[in-house]
Amino acid sequence: MYTIERTDFGFQITFAGKMDEAELHEWINDSRAALQDSPDEFGVLVDMRDLKLLNDDEQQLMRDGQQHYQDAGMVRSSVILDSAILTLQFRRLAKESGIYDWERYINAGTTDDWYQQAVDWLVDEIDPDYQ
């Protein structure tokens, strides 16, 4: 399951449950439609707290979809996870891949104000890693 919502800072995307390839293709198509009238620059909050693990093919589709947001003007993103291990893994991968400059990973399981931290990063560039 997924949702795409328009917000003051850009978009909020929520992923939950097991996302198969067909649903990821649907998300990509819905994202393209949502991005057609997006501002020149925007932020994206991605809530993955309830997402099940993705296989390699599904991960590639997720990356493809994320690329559409970046190409359309995404300047920062906040990814919300609910596992310390996954948060550390994604943060490390972001640093290794070079996307860490504009993407932050926040573990909702260790902080009550994860939403505010995410929005602060998107809107004011307040880095949640240094709070």
Question: Alpha-carbon distance 57 to 69, whole Å?
Answer: 19
Question: Alpha-carbon distance 108 to 86, whole Å?
Answer: 11
Q: What is the mean pLDDT of the chain?
A: 91
Strand ranges (DSSP E) for the chain? 2-6, 10-17, 42-51, 74-81, 103-107
Question: Alpha-carbon distance 68 to 81, whole Å?
Answer: 21
What's the total number of domains in the chain? Answer: 1
Question: Alpha-carbon distance 102 to 83, whole Å?
Answer: 21
Quickly count helices (H) and strands (E) in the chain: 4, 5
41 has a pLDDT exceeding 80: yes
CATH of residue 65: 3.30.750.24
pLDDT of residue 86: 80
pLDDT of residue 61: 87
* Residue numbers of the domain that contains 86: 2-130
Question: Alpha-carbon distance 90 to 8, whole Å?
Answer: 26
94 has a pLDDT exceeding 90: no
What's the rounded mean pLDDT across residues 51-77?
88
Residues 16-39 have pLDDT tens digits of 999 999 999 999 999 999 999 999
| Per-residue pLDDT band at 66 (split at 50, 70, 90) | confident
What's the rounded mean pLDDT across residues 51-70?
86
Structure tokens at 21: 């390839």
